[in-house]
Amino acid sequence: MIDSVLPLQESVWWLQKRDHLLDLAKNQLNAFIYDSKTIERSIASLKNMESIDKIFYAMKANFNPDLLRILYDFNINFECVSPGEVKFLIKTFPNIGINRILFTPNFSPKDEYIWAMNLGLKVTIDNLYPLKEWPEIFKNKNIIVRIDTGHGEGHHKHVKTAGKESKFGIHLPQVKELMVLVKSMDINIVGIHAHNGSEIYEVNNWITIAEQLALIGKKFNTTKFLDIGGGFPTSNHSDNRSVSMKDLDDGLLRIKQKYPNYKFWIEPGRYLVAESGILLTHITQMKNKGDKKFIGVGTGMNTLIRPALYDAHHEIINLTRYYDNTVTELVEIVGPICESGDSFGMHRFKKGSREDDVILIANVGAYGSSMSSHYNLRELPIEIIL
Ligand code: LLP
């Protein structure tokens, strides 16, 4: 995981707000900062897609209440995976209509389904077990089913959520059994869902899902929408990869023309919030071991576990010295946590970097603070929305 030192676009929001960020960093060792305008831009680009009828934000990506408020005010709906997420949403927005919430649990206990159906949530079932073992909960009801498309995708094996090795979704050969079950229980399959994984760079992923789900939908005459999941990437500065939302829209529109009876839903997490978030920290110490150089920063895998867990790459910038004209050297950026895995990887850094320089870790708006922990009992960073 080596930073390729491509020149950054000067238009990136945190360079435009550099002075303000350096100011904010004076008062705290570590802080998550989110830029509301960047979130609004992501919302607008999804709302621009003609093929998409409803957007559900996967709130597991980031549940900061002020950030949720931006999505709420722009009429984005919410995808929740636990009663905790649903309750948090209702507590934050007491007037939220229950129809704005999609509940997509996985291997949940029976009581959660009873609770969700009684509350009137849209519930996604991703296994035949609940239907076979707890028929009383679902008889005569409307439900959504999650299908395993058979091909998992994504930036790391831990985030591929389809295929035989994945615990998610109803296995395709079981669709016949599903048809018999829903008929005998008078269940309406109102929606068919699939989510292949996270951070996928192939437009065809969603086009194939839409086609696969449309064909399955034809087997039930109650299906009104196809939920083609999330997994849309943000543009990756380090290797210039991105997905053209225009190509995706065109491709989906082609499928929609073929199957005009279905509405299309999506449930993105990362796409809506990743680029809006940065983690500001400071250099704490430096260490040489022969040729190897470590630069320590004020926070580590406790606040951003993605590099340790998935070998994920995040740009790391010395914000204090961003415009200094010094040569760079390859260093390993590490945090203060007592684990060897507490590393943000190898990065090119300005040679004159010093204790207390402000360090910026980019693209952490999704799965940064929401996956942080109290490990080592280090304080969590404050979170600020600009
Ligand atoms: N829908 C379902 C059913 C999901 O399981 C997920 C993510 C999403 C939507 C939203 O996916 P997104 O658009 O954010 O890729 N912690 C990992 C990502 C795990 C995502 C889990 N499921 C990471 O930091 O990359």
Contacts of 207 (CB under 8 A, 6+ apart): 248, 251, 252, 254, 255
Distance 210 CA to ligand 1 centre (A): 18
Atom 8 in ligand 1: residue holding the nearest Cα: 230
| Radius of gyration over every alpha carbon of the chain, rounded to an integer in angstroms | 22
Residue 61's nearest CA partner among 200, 192, 231, 227 is: 231
Distance 72 CA to ligand 1 centre (A): 19
Q: Say which DSSP state 232 is in.
A: P
Structure confidence at residue 5 (pLDDT): 43
Tokens for 179? 């048809």
Atom of ligand 1 nearest to the CA of 104: 3
Distance 178 CA to ligand 1 centre (A): 26
Per-residue confidence of the chain (386 residues) as pLDDT tens digits? 444 444 456 689 999 999 999 999 999 999 999 999 999 999 999 999 999 999 999 999 999 999 999 999 999 999 999 999 999 999 999 999 999 999 999 999 999 999 999 999 999 999 999 999 999 999 999 999 999 998 888 888 888 888 888 999 999 999 999 999 999 999 999 999 999 998 999 999 999 999 999 999 999 989 999 999 999 998 766 667 788 899 999 999 999 999 999 999 999 999 999 999 999 999 999 999 999 999 999 999 999 999 999 999 999 999 999 998 889 999 999 999 999 999 999 999 989 999 999 999 999 999 999 999 999 999 999 999 99
Q: How many CB atoms lie within 10 A of CB 376?
A: 14
Q: Look up the pTM and report it.
A: 0.95
CA torsion angle for 22, 24, 317, 13 (degrees, to 10)?
Answer: -90
Structure confidence at residue 237 (pLDDT): 60
Tokens for 319? 């914000």
Distance 231 CA to ligand 1 centre (A): 6
Atom of ligand 1 nearest to the CA of 309: 24
Buried b (16+ CB within 10 A) or exposed e, 235-254: ebbbeeeebebeebbebbee
Question: Measured between alpha carbons, how far is residue 24 from residues 20, 62, 66, 347 in Å?
Answer: 6, 21, 18, 24
Which of 198, 367, 369 has the most ligand 1 atoms within 8 A of CB, as the residue to mutate?
Answer: 198
Give residue-wise pLDDT tens across range 62-72.
Answer: 999 999 999 99
Distance 133 CA to ligand 1 centre (A): 28
Angle at 273 between CA 360 and CA 333, to 5 degrees: 25
- Please tell me the distance from the alpha carbon of residue 208 to that of residue 371, in angstroms, as a whole number: 30
Atom of ligand 1 nearest to the CA of 197: 15
Structure confidence at residue 235 (pLDDT): 74
The separation between CA 109 and the C-alpha centre of its own chain, rounded to angstroms, equals 24
The separation between CA 267 and the C-alpha centre of its own chain, rounded to angstroms, equals 9
Tokens for 313? 């790459």
- Please tell me the distance from the alpha carbon of residue 192 to that of residue 210, in angstroms, as a whole number: 10
Give residue-wise pLDDT tens across range 217-253.
Answer: 999 989 999 999 999 998 766 667 788 899 999 999 9
Structure confidence at residue 161 (pLDDT): 85
Name all residues whose Cβ lies below 6 A of ligand 1.
58, 61, 79, 104, 159, 161, 195, 198-199, 229-232, 267-271, 306, 310, 366-367
Which of 56, 60, 265 has the most ligand 1 atoms within 8 A of CB, as the residue to mutate?
Answer: 60
Atom 5 in ligand 1: residue holding the nearest Cα: 195
Q: How many CB atoms lie within 10 A of CB 367?
A: 26
Atom of ligand 1 nearest to the CA of 232: 13
